[in-house]
Amino acid sequence: MTMTDKALALKEAQKVVAWIEKDSLTDAEKKQIHDESIENFNENVNPGWLEYRKSVSTDAAFIEWTDSVDHFEDLNGTQFIDCLGGFGIYTCGHRNPEILKTVQAQLSRYALHSQELVDPLRGYLAKITALATPGDLQYCFFTNGGAEAVEMALKLARLATGGRWYISTVGAFHGKSMGAISMGGKGAYREDYVPMIQQVQHVEYGNAADMEKAIKNLQTVGEKVAGVIIEPIQGEAGVAIPPVGYLKDVRAICDKYGVAMIVDEIQTGMGRTGTLWRCEAEDVCPDIMTYGKAFGGGIMPITGIIARPKMWVDKLIDNPWILGSPTFGGNPLACAAAISTFKYMLENDIPGLCKKRGEYFLEKLGELHKKYPTVLTEFRGAGLLICMEFPEAEVGYAVTKELFARHVMTAGTLVNAKTVRIEPPAVLSDESVAKVISSLDEALAAVKEEFKL
């Protein structure tokens, strides 16, 4: 970088900071931000990013600028009802006032920690998480993103069991770091990175017998399995809900063969599916559980794992850093957000609200399915993790664009819009729910006519 580049960088930073700190923008500033944002993404983020976006119109004119409760706004103040929920992070809403107040109070005290002294909030959050999770789950390790939490879970399973193999499922999504993507069950995410972790077998999701056979065969030929990793509902695969009893069967199989059961609750947990944790629906306690997304209340990024005492072996106690040492993992701001999120969720029964809202959405989707059976071919969900299915991806894309034109945001999975998720905040107002349903009715009618379905 030349001195000239540094001068330009300073000038650019000064300009943007001034905009952030302003109470309002002029029309000229809004246009400048819009035009420069498009250019910045194309020149300095990824030239394919804007073209790849599929939840909005092909016109990349909408610049997110502020948000509140159940909606966000663009630069010009146009409001969009959020039925995507940041893929699950906004269960408590956008900028939830109670959670935001807690984080602002902590920010006024200290934001990050010295790394050497005891940070009390991390300990309090670990205790609260242990109290709020099933069975004897006790020891926490906090991270920054979902894939990082999965990496810690995979490493802990090896430390605790001495095994080297993992069993995952077809269609699974656990993140995109090398360990996490090795567990992933979608070829589109994996094929560019093979070979990766080699000791992974994928079995059919929802088929406990298939899983037992894989473990038994490995152990028969002298291979030791460290862990099974499953989502209680596969979100990225299109809200795939396994048969009732599947989690209990997997728990029994893991106990039988001495394998760690890792349940990935990053998307399904924190109330999203109608119980605080989805594994509670089958009264199952995993050996290791991951959490994230809504864990930070839609205010701060924080993820992590919690494990049963038997998993915290002497090697880990003797060397606490052997599992990992993320600089920002469990930082005070993030912990304050998560503690306040637990307080808000439990005081307001957010899991119960998700269940109630979800049942209403499914009822209305049933009516729309009868009305437009050639467009909305299938629907399913638990709580506010809901999926609509269409005849092909192009139809799904068209529905999301019609919804966005009516100021409702939703999206397909990351690689496909044949299935489109409805994953809104639990605090979606009755008025917003009604608007979403009426907008979906209009969108389905428009797409039916467009595709002559």
Q: What is the pTM of this model?
A: 0.94
For 98, 109, 298, the CA distances from 105, given in Å and listed in that order, are: 11, 7, 17
What is the reported pLDDT for 184?
82
For 41, 362, 425, the CA distances from 432, given in Å and listed in that order, are: 31, 16, 11
What is the reported pLDDT for 57?
47
Is residue 291 a contact partner of residue 280, using CB atoms and an 8 Å limit?
Answer: no
What is the reported pLDDT for 120?
96
Picking from 6-10, 132-136, 186-190, 361-365, which range would have the lowest pLDDT averaged per residue?
186-190
- Parallel/antiparallel/unpaired status of strands 225-230 and 260-264: parallel
DSSP three-state, residue 78: coil
Cβ neighbourhood burial of 89 (10 Å; 0-12, 13-18, 19+): buried
What tokens does 379 get? 């629907």
| 162-174 mean pLDDT | 95
What is the reported pLDDT for 176?
83
What is the reported pLDDT for 190?
83
What is the reported pLDDT for 452?
94
What is the reported pLDDT for 228?
98
Torsion of CA 20, 341, 80, 383, to 10 degrees: 160
Percentage, residues of the chain above pLDDT 70: 96
DSSP letter (8 states) at residue 376: S
- Can you state the angle between helices 350-371 and 332-347, rounded to 10 degrees? 70
Name the range with the highest mean pLDDT among 40-44, 381-385, 395-399.
381-385
Picking from 299-308, 346-355, 416-425, which range would have the lowest pLDDT averaged per residue?
416-425
| 229-240 mean pLDDT | 94
What is the reported pLDDT for 3?
59
What tokens does 413 get? 């999975």
CA 303 to chain centre: 10
How far apart CA 202 and CA 196 sit, in angstroms, is 14
Per-residue pLDDT band for 127 (boundaries 50, 70, 90) equals very high
| 248-275 mean pLDDT | 98
> 80-110 pLDDT, tens per residue?
999 999 999 999 999 999 999 999 999 999 9
Residue 259 backbone class (left: φ over 0; alpha: ψ -120 to 50; beta: rest):
beta
Is the pLDDT at 4 greater than 80, yes or no? no
What is the reported pLDDT for 179?
77
| 426-436 mean pLDDT | 95
- Can you state the angle between helices 120-132 and 332-347, rounded to 10 degrees? 30
For 147, 162, 307, 452, the CA distances from 335, given in Å and listed in that order, are: 19, 32, 18, 52
Per-residue pLDDT band for 159 (boundaries 50, 70, 90) equals very high
| 212-231 mean pLDDT | 98
Q: Is the peptide bond before 97 cis (omega within 30 degrees of 0)?
A: no
What is the reported pLDDT for 437?
98
Per-residue pLDDT band for 414 (boundaries 50, 70, 90) equals low
What tokens does 268 get? 């399904």
As a whole number, the mean pLDDT across the chain is 93
Q: Which of 84, 132, 98 is nearest to 384 (CA)?
A: 84
Which residue blocks in 184-293 are alpha helix, DSSP H? Answer: 187-190, 208-220, 246-257
Is residue 265 a contact partner of residue 279, using CB atoms and an 8 Å limit?
Answer: yes
| 372-387 mean pLDDT | 97
Strand residue runs (E) in 269-396: 288-291, 303-307, 378-382, 385-389
| 311-339 mean pLDDT | 94
What tokens does 422 get? 């409805």
Is the pLDDT at 58 greater than 90, yes or no? no
Is the pLDDT at 56 greater than 60, yes or no? no
